[in-house]
Structure 1
């Protein structure tokens, strides 16, 4: 006959096993890095307030004006993440300023859209020669050092800019800024880890 003490111990262990979720479910919840939102037309999309820099992959299939702003907890516009008439596909960085804190995204659209929010570390790898069309964010494998240069080109007719960001994802330097086509060689500022590209046409960046 089992003693009352052993019986009580077995009861507690059985209860614990029933209450503990499967290990696979816990891992899945903890390792999910992306959050995707979908909608159509204008929307105020509230998110958990954060000051941590990140990226947003954005699409829009409408024909009219489309824009996405990040808003701070006071409802003030912080970062203009997308700004285009017609279909849009691009990636933008947010919370790159030291005082930025995002609590919502304000979307103006006449068609269906998607927003995928990810950590800044999920930005596209910045190879020796990187090419793209439209807005994008690039990530170096390590912070830049020494005297390096960037050969930059843009073939669009709208506004084009390249901002470098430091290892913490904060604004570092504006290395290119022009409306229309652009071709130039500029310095890659030491301490650069990311680059935020705004463009409405094809572009290329070659590191040297």
Structure 2
């Protein structure tokens, strides 16, 4: 485990990466935000969002995934468990 201070910031409309990641939203999301999600791996792809009060599973699929999810109001963290490349695009 690492401290949240070393989490990767998600400050732009689009963020991409490969493999497991923790994203820190600063500022927290405001209102329900539609996010386009792509994953090109072959194994589990699991995404959770965290607010100060709750957590919510956004994606839990095996293999490639393409879709849209709603990022809850007040989301401050997003965790990603992936074996391939992924991209999140707000808006």
TM-score by length of 2: 0.90
Structure with the larger helix share: 1
> 1:198 is matched with which residue?
81
| Aligned counterparts of 1:135 and 1:160: Cα–Cα separation in 2 | 9
State how far apart, in whole Å, the 2-side matches of 1:144 and 1:154 are: 22
State yes or no: 1:185 paired with 2:68. yes
Of structures 1 and 2, the larger Rg is shown by 1
1:37-186 equivalent positions in 2, closer than 5 A: 56=1, 117=2, 119-126=3-10, 127-167=12-52, 172-186=55-69
RMSD: 1.4
Q: Report the number of matched residues.
A: 90
Structure 1 unaligned spans of 5+: 1-55, 57-116
Deviation at 1:148, TM superposition (A): 1.1
Identify the structure with bigger relative contact order (alpha carbons < 8 Å, sequence gap 6+): 2
The TM-score, its normalising length taken from structure 1, stands at 0.41
Runs in 1 of length 4+ with deviation above 2 angstroms? none
Correspondence 1:27-38 to 2 at 5 A: none
Cα distance, 1:171 vs. partner?
5.2
More strand by share: 2
